[in-house]
Amino acid sequence: MPKSPTQRLHLVFGGELIDPQKTVFRDVKDIHIVGIYPNYAEAFNAWKAEAQRTVDNAHMRYFIAHLHRLRDEEMEAAPTAELGF
């Protein structure tokens, strides 16, 4: 069976922080999920657009999470990971 290409997914999200010097969200229910992107370049463009859109609010921050780093498909998964937990 041919090996499928590696996919490097990135999540862009953000919201209002309690303190602009820390990364604690004021209300996690209000976190804005911008989207999931197939590569860093597209994620960076989405992040930059949201950061520029909210530049007037010092408490707003957007982040890029490297989803591909959360799980290495080459490693054997724990039984709960196989179940989706």
pLDDT-above-90 percentage for the chain: 68
Per-residue pLDDT tens digits for 18-29: 999 999 999 999
- Give, for 48, the enclosing helix (H) or strand (E): helix 40-53
> Which residue has better confidence, 76 or 8?
8
Q: Residue 47 burial by CB count (10 A; 0-12/13-18/19+): exposed, middle or buried? A: buried
pLDDT of the residue at 80: 47
As a whole number of angstroms, the distance between CA 85 and CA 79 comes to 9
pLDDT of the residue at 85: 43
Give Cα separations from 50 to 5, 41, 42 (angstroms): 30, 14, 13
Domains delineated in the chain: 10-83 (3.30.70.2400)
For all residues of the chain together, what is the average pLDDT?
Answer: 85
Per-residue pLDDT tens digits for 44-79: 999 999 999 999 999 999 999 999 887 655 665 555
Judged by DSSP in three states, 75 sits in: coil
pLDDT of the residue at 43: 96
